[in-house]
Amino acid sequence: MTAFLEMTNVSKVFSAGIIRRQHTVAVDDVTMTIDEQSPSILAVAGESGSGKTTLARLLLGVIPPSSGEVIYRGQSVDDLSRAQRRTYLREIQPIFQDPFESYNPFYKVDHVLTVPAKKFDLAASREQTMRLIEEALDMVGLQPAETLGRFPHQLSGGQRQRVMVARAMLLRPRLIVADEPVSMVDASLRATILESIRRMKQELGISVVYITHDLTTAYQIADNILVMYKGSVVEAGSVEQVIRDPKHPYTQLLVSSIPQPDPSLPWGAEGEIAGDPESMEVAATGCKFVDRCPVAFEPCSGQRPPLYHEHPSRAAACFQYDGSPALEGQNLDVVFEPQLTSQAAGGSQEPAAN
């Protein structure tokens, strides 16, 4: 059985400048699988410049990797036939950050729903198209009668973003890649959008890659998380393990820097912030976090730390854990939950008693 989508040692390097050419490694050697049988929500977390959006674009096939492969149903995304590419483009749907720029202001919001329905031949008749659209709107908690027939500016930011979620859902994808879907939406409406993303997984069995800078919402809706720093995965595993008990000093800093909505809790710990958090420079060798790490020791500036499998559902790329085995081939699948069952034939995994 082949997996739905795989990344094998995927890297993406951007180059700029004519005379003094500069190379930025936006995504550095990522290997993981997104499976169809066991849908899950994977959060990709990081600050600006971490490479999280580049990772999303690689998954969506918008940009090709510089090395490594993105493999869709057993075939490299580069080598898909026209028909295969069409299915690929339907099965992986994006949701973008800005609910204002995703619309053409001259068209009613219906446009973003009817066009993909037509393009991908979702329905045999106009009535059936409308029924599908109404179902999708219903799923995200919008009243079709109050939504359809309106122009984008007549809806609030939250409503517009929910129409985008409905659009993605309408195409019955297997994977949704949502890039900061709630960062421009007000707090009181955020929950509705995140809840509809969670329902997609639970009720429709759609996997979600949730790209975010916000570890709190990641913790709330995701099963697994991958924390990126300057293109590299520094820590990955189940959200319970990674966010409640982070092991990499960078993840620890991120988690403790989140201001908690409780005045009796402290904000951060002493001596945690070292170096310049906004420096764009990356050491050529050694750990990328070494300049900012409060616990750096000798091996850290010598070579890049591999991901150490120091807990069954967590791995951290930090030499503090070099007593644990490194992840084989840097493959993240073993730390994610639920464990992929692709090797053991899928169907036989059901519990014996009902």
Sites of contact with other proteins (CB under 8 A): 47-48, 156-159, 186-192, 194-195, 213, 215-217, 219-221, 243-244, 253-255, 257-264, 267-268, 273, 276-278
Measured in whole angstroms, how far is the alpha carbon of residue 58 from the centre of its chain?
Answer: 11
Q: How far is the CB of 129 from other proteins (least distance, A)?
A: 27
The Cα–Cα gap between 73 and 68 comes to 16
By beta-carbon proximity to other proteins, the closer residue of 64 and 157 is: 157
Assigned token pair, 199: 């329902």
Q: How far is the CB of 56 from other proteins (least distance, A)?
A: 18
By beta-carbon proximity to other proteins, the closer residue of 128 and 202 is: 202
By beta-carbon proximity to other proteins, the closer residue of 267 and 297 is: 267
Please give the angle made by the CA atoms of 137, 142 and 143, to the nearest 5 degrees: 95
Q: How far is the CB of 112 from other proteins (least distance, A)?
A: 20
By beta-carbon proximity to other proteins, the closer residue of 14 and 267 is: 267
Q: How far is the CB of 240 from other proteins (least distance, A)?
A: 9
Instruction: Give all strands (DSSP E) within the chain, no chain letters.
Output: 5-16, 22-34, 41-45, 67-72, 75-76, 92-95, 175-179, 207-212, 224-229, 232-238, 308-311, 314-316
By beta-carbon proximity to other proteins, the closer residue of 5 and 139 is: 139
By beta-carbon proximity to other proteins, the closer residue of 79 and 195 is: 195
Q: How far is the CB of 118 from other proteins (least distance, A)?
A: 30
Task: Yes or no: say if 271 and 282 are a contact pair by the CB < 8 Å rule.
Answer: no
Asked if the bond preceding 338 is cis, omega within 30° of 0, the reply is yes
Q: How far is the CB of 226 from other proteins (least distance, A)?
A: 17
The DSSP result for 287-350, as a single string, is -TTGGG-TT--THHHHSPPPPEEEETTEEE--GGGTTSPBPGGGBGGGGSSSPP-SSS-GGGGS
The Cα–Cα gap between 207 and 92 comes to 10
Assigned token pair, 93: 């749907």
Residue type, 204: L
